[in-house]
Amino acid sequence: MRRLIVIALMLTPAVSMAGEISVADYPSIQAAIDANPGRMLLVPPGDHHVSGPVLLNKGGNGLYGYGTIVQDNPEKEVVRIDHARGVRLRDLTLTRAEGVKDATAPGVLITDAQDASLEGLRVLDCRARDAAVDLRNACNCTVRGCEITNYKRIAVDDRTGDSGGNVHYGYAFRCIDGTGVMVRESTGTVIADNRIVDHNLMPTREMKEQHKLGELTEGKYPTKAGNLGRAAVERGRVDNWHQGSAIVVTSPEATAYTNVTGNYIENAAQGIDLHSDYVICANNTINRGMMGIKLTHGARNLVVSGNIITRVDLWGILLNPGAASHAAEVAQDDKPARAANVDGGTIVANNIISEYGYGNEYWNWGGARENQGGSFAMAFFEGQLPENPPLRDVIVQGNIVYNTGRDGEPDGAEIKQPAPRYRYAVYIGPWGEGSTPRAPLPEGLHFSNNILHAGTAGVSNAELTP
């Protein structure tokens, strides 16, 4: 009987007095997960190297603790949650080994999952074009209180073609790219109270020259200018070589019901990029970037409220119908009916845009032109294509666009008041001031109770209707 008891104890997972099961008691983290379906497992302090993704594909599984999981393979995720419900990751550090920090796979990938929760993670130096944290086909998942640091890399943005043969640009270019959190084809997502910062790649003149950023290069297909790419192909370069976003919520015809709240974002190309319906984007701080918050490609019924946007250099808040927007379509021949994917029915309220033009790349935008052309604190554009339905029915109220220069700055023995670094506080119209519209202009914009300090050309290029 004694021998049977000893054998039974040897086959039982090592459990601490507190009931914890540690991955350190198994040959690998994956072996521990496979041996304990439906359990939360402790990852103790120290580095735990892996060469394949740590796969969580059983309901209720999860990892927690203060250990660091280090991925040695740049083509693999650090952690992957796949086809499971109720998986949790808490308090871990996820990173990549020295020499493979620039990767082709996300740091955390969540696919076909429900009720997954990422809380208190540190996702460090997971630099991939997709995202440090990537959610695809997810339902009711949460990313809360995480630190995502240094998520960008030098890359090629290839716009030479796609599987559908729909080429709007037709070129590829060298760029800084990368995204902190990306959400695709998902519903009920919460992205809250995270810190998403990049210190690794700053959009400076020196960085541009070192990596030849913006220069056209070879893509998957030969360069051939599309309907939106003629000017870039003629010049052989683009200005928008700082790509990616701290947070992207996209797949506009499949993604909805998302909360993006309380996040701190620093040194993003785009702070928060929303191509989705039914989004609350509130109480976020965006410090330094090409732009602050963008709503496009079919973004309907959003609330953008209480955000602080500071030191952005091109657009603080941008709304426009992107190329993916379209009117409702009836079934015809072999094409099924499609519901409308339009932009509007949105509230933009109680946001503050300040220190405009005092970021890292004003020199590449308004500062590159004597008249500061194209630099608008708030912009409401036409669609990208003639067939895009117009932006409609937007309430813009209680916002502040604050000209920081009016308060003066020391210059030797004097206090000077430099000119604003934006052309208009609000711009409404076509892409390119004074150009002929190529798509319907915005309709039903209602402005009230805003404080809008004039830019160098005035408060707005158009009458702001209450």
Q: What type of residue sits at position 142?
A: T
Which stretch of DSSP H or E encloses residue 29? Answer: helix 29-35
pLDDT for res 163: 42
Spatial CA neighbour of 147 closest among 107, 93, 104, 97: 93
CA distance 68 to 81: 18
Residues in contact with 181: Cβ distance below 8 Å, sequence separation at least 6, in sequence order: 131, 132, 133, 134, 135, 143, 148, 191, 194, 196, 246, 247, 248
Over residues 340-392, the pLDDT tens digits come to 999 999 999 999 999 999 999 999 999 999 999 999 999 999 999 999 999 99
**Count of CA atoms in the C-beta half-sphere (13 A) of 417:** 4
At 9 the pLDDT is 41
Read off the tokens for 233: 């192909």
Amino acid 18: pLDDT: 60
Tokens encoding 215: 């220069």
Give me the pLDDT at residue 136, please. Answer: 98
Residues in the chain with pLDDT < 50?
A: 1-12, 14, 16-17, 163-165
The DSSP bridge partners found for residue 95 are 70, 124
Rounded Cα distance between 302 and 30, Å, is 41
The residues near 52 (Cβ < 8 Å, ≥ 6 apart) are 30, 73, 76
Distance CA 178, CA 129 (A): 4
Distance in angstroms (rounded) separating the CA atoms of residues 40 and 63: 6
pLDDT of residue 8: 40
Q: What is the pLDDT of residues 136-159, one digit of tens each?
A: 999 999 999 999 999 999 999 999
Sign of CA dihedral 70, 73, 77, 79: negative
**DSSP H/E element including 11:** helix 2-11
348 contacts: CB under 8 Å, gap ≥ 6: 304, 305, 317, 319, 378, 394, 395, 396, 397, 399
Supply φ then ψ for residue 108, to 5 degrees. -120, 130
Name the pairing type of β-strands 153-159 and 216-217. unpaired
Q: How far apart are CA 155 and CA 190, in angstroms?
A: 29
Quick one: pLDDT at residue 166? 55
| Structure confidence at residue 442 (pLDDT) | 98
- Residue 129: its pLDDT value, please? 80
Domain 48-328+340-452 fold is Pectate Lyase C-like (2.160.20)
Neighbours of 263 (CB within 10 A): 28
Q: Does residue 49 contact residue 72 with C-beta atoms inside 8 Å?
A: yes
Q: Contact 436/402 with Cβ under 8 angstroms?
A: no
SS3 state at 212? coil
> What was the pLDDT predicted at 224?
87
